[in-house]
Amino acid sequence: MNPRDSDEKAIVHLIWRRPRRPNGKLLKYVIEYCRTENGRVVEKDCPRQDVDADRTQIRLSGLEFETPYRFIVKAQTSAGEGDPNSADASTLPEVVAAGGWYFKACSGHF
């Protein structure tokens, strides 16, 4: 469960694994997330966030409801940024129907 505050937009919780063979000392991870349309990125400048090297997850908030995104994770070492790993996923609608009941969306899925 990934609860959100009532005034918060859509959220996504990203989880990844450490590089199997880092090229130098792991300094941090760089996370980018871009809105997509028909599988193509539609933003010129995608938001970026740095994550400490000892963490392998992040909670991204402020995303638009029911919107497709591309989430990109890159490890940065003393040798520079590594190859990106990415996944495309859509945030949930603000209200989700489940078995005849309606719920406000509380989590995004990656």
Instruction: Report if residue 95 sits inside a domain.
Output: yes
Instruction: Report if residue 64 sits inside a domain.
Output: yes
Q: Kindly report the CATH number assigned to the domain that includes residue 18.
A: 2.60.40.10
Q: What is the number of structural domains in the chain?
A: 1
Instruction: Report if residue 72 sits inside a domain.
Output: yes
Residue 67: both structure tokens together: 């919107």
Q: Can you give the residue range of the structural domain that contains 44? A: 10-104
Which carries the bigger pLDDT value, residue 80 or residue 7? 80
Instruction: Report if residue 109 sits inside a domain.
Output: no
Instruction: Report if residue 3 sits inside a domain.
Output: no
**Do 77 and 25 form a contact (C-beta atoms < 8 A)?**
yes
Residue 25: both structure tokens together: 């000392």
DSSP output for 6-64: TT--EEEEEE----SS-SS-EEEEEEEEEEEETTEE--SS--EEEEETT--EEEEEEEP
CB atoms within 10 A of CB 18: 11
pLDDT tens for 4-63 read 556 678 999 999 999 888 888 999 999 999 999 999 999 889 999 999 999 999 999 999
